[in-house]
């Protein structure tokens, strides 16, 4: 068949499919992306009484432009598909991945459109709205999220991964497939951190009983076009559209933290542009409001970013996350499966509250390559409250296991102050430290291999002078030190926590 005829047939078939798709539309909306600095715009459509299901098909009509897509009902958020090409479908008892089922409220709904990448102008789009009186999606086993409680009441180190994606955002695996792989590699907890949606949360109740030793941590990845962050422990969606309709970064952080969740910046040093839209962190933020930094996000390290943030006053915990989008089945030099890195959290129990408390208190170690990397456990003697120890003179000690042949680095305020060969297993090292007369010093450890590449990274612990403490343990001029005697006793019994040091290029 001549090439010209083949191309003509392809064009005719494609045109016919478009025509049939348009014939299905209750309303076909064609337009041009508005110019200006605002990152999002909105397309209104009317939903009448008696509507049982809504389907929204969308096209950016360009191979160069990228638009993101979401859906709001008259009461607010109904889902965020991001750059997905698949349509959004919602009814009362079911929804397509990334979207939230619920009553189909009559009134004005909005298609939310994000200007992810505009290379060609005018940038055109097409939206097909289909309103049905009968649902096409079958009911799904959804229920309101409930905390599963403690899966294990032992106080110990728990292994997990805070950064995993499934079909509920831009990942390939189903939620069950992701959980099965995490369980198979020995993780104790995972967070399915979907982009700008909590759509999978109502499926946790159906899945968690099938994984009695693997805790599902609620949360999501708050994703803007100028940076990504984790909301560890969050159950309520928080708007990411900074600069649109009065949304601010400060308000977003507040919305996360008011839920008792942790605001933690993700992969701040990943290349941006067309490689990863919005991935590098480029938003001015109060360092003291940042509670975590992903110092190892997949293959990407961010230790300098972490050090700079801590130097500016943050008490952030250093965490890790694989950013796995393939359910453990990917390949290539840029791919990290679940558990690479593995984040170790010292917690009083394997529960959502226990893991969050461990992270907030800085009791975290990141094993760069896998759970088989060396482990380090750090203690700073004195009165500990959260991630701060109050003592004029203190002993900084560390216990390294499975680390023989490597090097232990001791970091103070961003600089390596000692490097020691790990020549036994276990290996214990101590040094005396003095609190500064004013302010605070910070200490952490890390283990590096023969090539000085990090294998194990710990979080900082801060040391302040004990001056100003009162007999009842309450604060005297230091807002970070409000603790009762019983609180101190509980915290002091938890004597091991982990933090590590400077790392260079990650070993694959």
Phi/psi at 438 (5° precision):
-135, 150
Q: How many CA atoms lie within 13 A of 2 on its CB side?
A: 3
Helices and strands in the chain: count of H runs, count of E runs = 7, 29
Under the banding of pLDDT at 50, 70 and 90, the label for residue 23 is: confident
Under the banding of pLDDT at 50, 70 and 90, the label for residue 468 is: very low
Model confidence, pTM: 0.88
For the chain, give the mean pLDDT: 90
Under the banding of pLDDT at 50, 70 and 90, the label for residue 467 is: confident
Inter-residue contact 38 to 243 (CB < 8 Å): yes
> Which residue shows structure tokens 């993700």?
266
Q: In sequence order, what are the beta bridge partners of 324? A: 164
H/E/C letters for each residue in 463-493?
A: EECCCCCCCCCCCCCCHHHCCCHHHHHHHHH
Answer yes or no: is pLDDT of 19 > 90: no
- Integer Cα distance of 151 and 349 in angstroms: 8
- Integer Cα distance of 165 and 325 in angstroms: 5
Q: What is the pLDDT of residue 7?
A: 40
Tokens standing for 53?
A: 């299901």
Q: Across residues 204-208, what is the average pLDDT?
A: 98
Phi/psi at 492 (5° precision):
-70, -30
- Integer-rounded Cα Rg, in Å, for the chain is 25
Residue predicted with more confidence, 508 or 461: 461
Through-space distance between the first and last CA atoms of the chain, rounded to whole angstroms: 49
CB neighbours (10 Å) of residue 330? Answer: 13
For 390-402, the pLDDT digits (tens) are 999 999 999 999 9
For 60-119, the pLDDT digits (tens) are 999 999 999 999 999 999 999 999 999 999 999 999 999 999 999 999 999 999 999 999
Under the banding of pLDDT at 50, 70 and 90, the label for residue 143 is: very high
- Integer Cα distance of 376 and 419 in angstroms: 15
Inter-residue contact 130 to 23 (CB < 8 Å): no
> Which residue shows structure tokens 């305020």?
413
Answer yes or no: is pLDDT of 420 > 80: yes
Inter-residue contact 239 to 252 (CB < 8 Å): yes
Answer yes or no: is pLDDT of 172 > 90: yes
> Which residue shows structure tokens 């917690």?
347
Phi/psi at 493 (5° precision):
-65, -30
Tokens standing for 274?
A: 């067309």
Q: In sequence order, what are the beta bridge partners of 297? A: 300, 321
- Integer Cα distance of 113 and 69 in angstroms: 5
Helix (H, G, I), strand (E, B) or coil at 84: coil
* 74 CB-near residues (< 8 Å, 6+ apart): 105, 107, 108, 109
CA dihedral 131, 136, 138, 139 (to 10 degrees): 20
Q: What is the pLDDT of residue 306?
A: 98
- Integer Cα distance of 502 and 504 in angstroms: 7
Q: Is 3 exposed, middle or buried (0-12, 13-18, 19+ CB in 10 A)?
A: exposed
Residue 69 CA: distances (Å) to CA of 39, 166, 235, 245: 12, 17, 21, 17
Reported as type and span, the H/E element at residue 250 is helix 249-257
CB neighbours (10 Å) of residue 357? Answer: 18
Q: In sequence order, what are the beta bridge partners of 441? A: 463
Length, in residues, of the chain:
508
- Segments of 272-406 assigned E as strands: 292-297, 300-301, 317-321, 342-347, 364-367, 375-380, 383-385, 388-390, 393-401
Helix (H, G, I), strand (E, B) or coil at 289: helix
Q: What is the pLDDT of residue 22?
A: 61
For residue 152, the Cα-to-chain-centroid distance in whole angstroms is: 24
Helix (H, G, I), strand (E, B) or coil at 81: strand
């Amino acid at each position: 068949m001549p090439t010209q005829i083949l191309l003509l047939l392809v064009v005719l078939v494609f045109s016919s499919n478009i025509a049939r798709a348009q014939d299905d539309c209750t309303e076909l909306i064609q337009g041009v992306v508005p110019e200006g600095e605002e990152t999002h715009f909105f397309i209104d459509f009317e939903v009448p009484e008696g509507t049982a299901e809504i389907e929204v098909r969308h096209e950016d009509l360009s191979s160069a432009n990228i638009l993101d897509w979401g859906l709001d009902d008259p009461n607010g958020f109904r889902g965020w598909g991001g750059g997905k090409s698949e349509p959004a479908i919602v009814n009362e008892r079911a929804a397509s991945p990334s979207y939230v089922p619920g009553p189909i409220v009559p009134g004005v709904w909005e298609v939310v459109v994000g200007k992810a990448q505009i290379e060609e102008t005018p940038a055109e789009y097409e939206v097909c709205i289909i309103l049905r009186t009968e649902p096409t999606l079958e009911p799904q086993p959804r229920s309101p999220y409930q905390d599963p409680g403690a899966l294990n009441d032992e106080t110990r180190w728990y292994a997990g991964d805070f950064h995993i994606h499934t079909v509920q955002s831009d990942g390939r695996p189903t939620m069950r497939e992701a959980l099965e792989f995490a369980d198979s590699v020995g993780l104790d907890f995972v967070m399915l951190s979907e982009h700008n949606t909590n759509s999978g949360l109502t499926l946790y109740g159906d899945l968690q009983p099938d994984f009695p030793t693997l805790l599902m941590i609620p949360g999501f990845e708050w994703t803007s076009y100028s940076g990504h962050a984790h909301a560890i422990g969050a159950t309520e969606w928080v708007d990411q559209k900074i600069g649109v309709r009065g949304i601010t970064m400060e308000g977003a952080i507040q919305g996360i933290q008011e839920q008792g969740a942790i605001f933690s910046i993700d992969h701040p040093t990943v290349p941006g542009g067309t490689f990863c839209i919005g991935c590098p962190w480029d938003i001015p933020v109060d360092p003291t409001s940042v509670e975590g930094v992903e110092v190892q996000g997949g293959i990407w390290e961010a230790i300098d970013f972490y050090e700079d943030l801590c130097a500016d006053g943050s008490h952030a915990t250093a965490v890790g996350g694989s950013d796995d989008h393939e359910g453990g089945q990917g390949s290539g030099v840029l791919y990290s499966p679940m558990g690479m890195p593995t984040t170790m959290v010292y917690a009083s129990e394997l529960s959502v509250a226990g893991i969050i408390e461990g992270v907030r208190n800085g009791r975290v170690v990141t094993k760069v390559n896998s759970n088989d990397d060396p482990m380090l456990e750090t203690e700073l003697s004195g009165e500990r409250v959260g991630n701060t120890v109050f003592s004029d003179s203190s002993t900084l000690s560390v216990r390294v296991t499975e680390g023989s042949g490597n090097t232990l680095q001791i970091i103070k305020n961003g600089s390596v102050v000692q490097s020691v060969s790990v020549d036994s297993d276990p290996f214990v090292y101590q040094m005396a430290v003095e609190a500064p007369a004013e302010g605070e010093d910070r200490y952490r450890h890390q283990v590096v291999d023969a090539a000085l590449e990090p294998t194990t990274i710990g979080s900082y612990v801060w040391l302040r002078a004990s001056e100003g403490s009162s007999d009842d343990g309450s604060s005297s001029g230091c807002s970070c030190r409000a603790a009762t005697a019983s609180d101190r006793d509980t915290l002091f019994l938890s004597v091991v926590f982990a933090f590590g040091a400077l790392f260079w290029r990650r070993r694959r």
